[in-house]
């Protein structure tokens, strides 16, 4: 399905990590010093993380993506 989802520009990202705690769904993790969207399933596309990024590396795009899976997110939160 086509839907709204975050996009992280790896060239702009400075690795500050501020966006990670701002995503309660756990969709963003730091990998090799850069923020990465770890799974489409965890991103609700609402963009709570966007305002946090000091360099404007996070935007919303519309693309083919798996649907947001709230049950999986809850499971991830409980297990973390
Ligand atoms: S807040 Fe922006 S610059 Fe910092 S880690 Fe996240 S995407 Fe990268």
Is residue 26 within 8 Å of 76, Cβ to Cβ?
yes
The pTM of this model reads 0.92
Asked, for residue 16, whether it belongs to a domain, the answer is yes
Residue 72 pLDDT > 90, yes or no?
yes
Total domain count, the chain: 1
> Which pLDDT value is given to residue 80?
79
Q: Is 37 in the pocket of ligand 1 (CB under 6 A)?
A: no
Which residue of 6, 15, 32, 36 sits with most ligand 1 atoms within 8 Å of its CB, as the best mutation to test the pocket? 15
CA atoms of 54 and 42, how far apart (whole Å): 23
- Domain carrying residue 30: 2-67
Smallest CA separation from ligand 1 atom 8, residue: 13
> Which pLDDT value is given to residue 39?
96
pLDDT tens string 19-56: 999 999 999 999 999 999 999 999 999 999 999 999 99
CATH number at residue 27: 3.30.70.20
Asked, for residue 78, whether it belongs to a domain, the answer is no
Asked, for residue 49, whether it belongs to a domain, the answer is yes
Average confidence (pLDDT) over 51-71: 97
Q: Which has more pLDDT, 80 or 45?
A: 45
Asked, for residue 73, whether it belongs to a domain, the answer is no
Asked, for residue 75, whether it belongs to a domain, the answer is no
């Amino acid at each position: 399905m086509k839907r709204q989802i975050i996009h992280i520009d790896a060239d702009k990202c400075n690795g500050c990590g501020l966006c990670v705690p701002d995503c309660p769904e756990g969709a963003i993790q730091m990998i090799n010093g850069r923020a990465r969207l770890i799974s489409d399933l965890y991103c609700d596309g609402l963009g709570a993380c966007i305002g946090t990024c000091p360099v404007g590396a996070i935007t919303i795009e519309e693309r083919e993506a798996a649907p947001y899976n709230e049950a999986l997110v809850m499971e991830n939160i409980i297990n973390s």
